[in-house]
Amino acid sequence: MPLDTLSKVFSALADPTRRDMVARLSVADATVNQLAEPYRMSLQAVYKHLRVLEDAGVVRRPPGPQPRPVRLETAALDLMDEWIERYRRRAEERYQRLDRLLSTMDESGDGEGRP
């Protein structure tokens, strides 16, 4: 069964090296060689990480001659943000309901919620 886009993005970002690459690309585009500089791994391993990020839609490399810049694609991050925000709002609403209930209980004076 093929993974949906959101699952691919979360899976791609599960790796700390790929998250670091995304963090660096959020500052500026970079070539593969520039991305590879801080890591103690082969260029081939860096390409494998980039392929995972590309397959998830997190980064892209435009066609053309080398060196090609690697660019961060914000649409994938927006998708994650929307998903996280939806559940964050639901959790906040739950806590607000609980706060209101506890406030009502405190106002009743006995802590038991009885008038």
Average pLDDT over residues 46-52: 97
Pick from 28, 66, 74: nearest CA to 47: 66
pTM: 0.77
- Percent of the chain clearing pLDDT 90 (strictly above): 67
CATH topology of domain 5-108: Arc Repressor Mutant, subunit A (1.10.10)
Which tokens belong to 51?
A: 């392929």
Terminal-residue alpha carbon distance, the chain: 56
- Quick one: pLDDT at residue 111? 52
Which of 3-12, 18-27, 84-93 has the highest mean predicted lDDT (pLDDT)? 18-27
Is the torsion defined by CA of 104, 107, 113, 115 positive or negative?
A: negative
